[in-house]
Chains A and B, each alone.
Chain A
Amino acid sequence: MSFDADVIIVGGGLAGLSTAITANREGLSTIVLERGEYSGSKNVSGGRMYTHALLQLFPDALERAPLERPVTKETYEVFCDEGKKITFSFEHKTKNSYTILRAKFDQWLAKEAENEGVLISYSTLVTNARREKDYIVVETNRGELKAPLIVDAGGVTSPVSRFLGIKKLEPKTLMLGVKEILDVKPNLPEDEGEARTIMGLIGNLKGGGFVYTNKDTLSVGVTIKVESLYNSNLPSHEIVERFREALGIEGNILEYSAHLIPYYGYDKLSNLYDRNLIVVGDAAGFLINDGFNIRGMDLAIGSGIVAGKALKKIKEMNDYSKTDIYYEMLKESFVLRDLKTALRSFKVLNEEEIFTKYPKILCNTLSKLFTVTSDGKERPINVLITESKNENVNTTKMLSDIMRLFI
């Protein structure tokens, strides 16, 4: 049997390109199928990347890659009723993470891959995939291609896995991200940037929002559980606009985009590999939210690097059913280790009260603690218990949930 390549990678985003670069460096012939006219033309992300995985691929990436600004200020804002707001900021002059714009960044990464010899076929849409005896055929708008190893790097909708019937998308494990880019130049020195995480400005919807400072623009967006949109009175296309207006951000909109976000958690991951198939990045459901970091892009690159190395081992064994090697290697990498560590926090952050009740209780409690009247003061814990009761929340459970984020 002759094949079109050792590996066909479906999707030319961060995960697909990282897989391709690594597999190519390992000596495998590799084709990337990208449905956009260029890499990044279909990609939407909030826009913040933790750079450690990228630096594994390109140690000099901070000098060469089209990154926007290093995030030197982290701000959390919780808006409550009646003009109450909790704000927490932390500043650190670090280059641990950068804001990025994917239309620029993915193009650069694709060019790097091509310079190293990776073949990328643009405007190539995979319309179906089927398993033959010991290989997989992908059907595209340009004809059929076959390979003994296929990598599903097609993003959160994981097309190849769905075509092969091994994955079904469920609303309970997905969030919707909606984003605007505004022509507002941040009032910051060029080597500083801010990431704002904001809760309480999208009504009763389960989710939050963000504002990231780019070089000359702002990325403003919301992320919402898909299920919670079902009962929303606000059309989803108005949510990001209301959010921006509530923050008082004004400027010309340069772009309006939207994307699904995987929200599985370590214990609900599935579909990471199958016979002749490896799944990476968003397609595998790799996303971490532990309250401190919301990460997807470094996991995409990290899983791609592991996949590229695993593909080499599988080829050397000449047994293309042995894709569990990828899973075994993934378990030893930061990807699954960090996902596992974050599970407890992830579960807490998945609970409805986090979005709907806890912010109000904390705001009302702080409001009372910072107010002095002639009626006399209560002990802080008693104030908290009263405010929790007002919202029908068990105080012990709430404190336990908050502690679970740290322990």
Chain B
Amino acid sequence: MTVNLLKRLGLNKYNVDKNSHIQVNTDICLTCKDKPCTKVCPAGTYEPSPDGRIIVHYERCLECGAALVACPYGAIKFTFPEGGISYKYG
């Protein structure tokens, strides 16, 4: 039984800021072939765009911190959000 990622993320409680807590220099993404940010994030926050840049779905973020170390070129600036995710059970 495969559960859609968005359904799984929807189980959590979010208080999303109006402004993204993640900033990406997408010009740098153009030069990055492997796009490790898309591989590392367990919430699908970083999605490759057909134009070679990155689309950021910051409202999905689980605040695990993986993005802090994911980009080898320093294109991602990540700060923890005010509000953000709250876990009920974990």
Contacts and interface: CB of A to CB of B under 8 A. Distances in A.
A77 B34 CA distance: 33
A229 B43 contact: no
Given A103-B88, A255-B87, A230 B36 contact: yes
B50 interface: no
B8 interface: yes
A127 B42 contact: no
Interface in A135-185: 141, 156-157, 159, 169-171, 174, 176-181
Interface residues of B, number: 38
B3 A236 contact: no
A283 to B, nearest CB: 12
Contacts of A36: 86
Given A103-B90, A237-B5, A253-B11, A125 B80 contact: yes
A241 B39 contact: no
A103 B12 contact: no
A181 B39 CA distance: 23
Contacts, number: 129
Interface string B30-59: 000010101111111000000000000000
Interface in A38-65: 38, 40-45, 47
A167 B74 CA distance: 16
Contacts of A236: 39-42, 66
B64 A258 contact: yes
Interface in B60-90: 62-66, 68-70, 79-90
A123 B1 CA distance: 37
Contacts of B43: 237, 258
B19 interface: no
Nearest to B43: A237
B9 interface: yes
A41 B87 contact: yes
Given A159-B80, A256-B12, A176 B89 contact: no
A241 B83 CA distance: 27
22 contacts: A37-B86, A41-B86, A41-B87, A101-B89, A102-B87, A102-B90, A125-B80, A171-B70, A174-B69, A217-B89, A226-B40, A229-B39, A229-B40, A232-B39, A239-B42, A253-B3, A254-B88, A255-B90, A256-B12, A257-B90, A258-B62, A259-B64
Given A159-B80, A230-B34, 8 more contacts: A35-B82, A42-B86, A44-B87, A169-B68, A169-B69, A179-B90, A232-B39, A236-B40
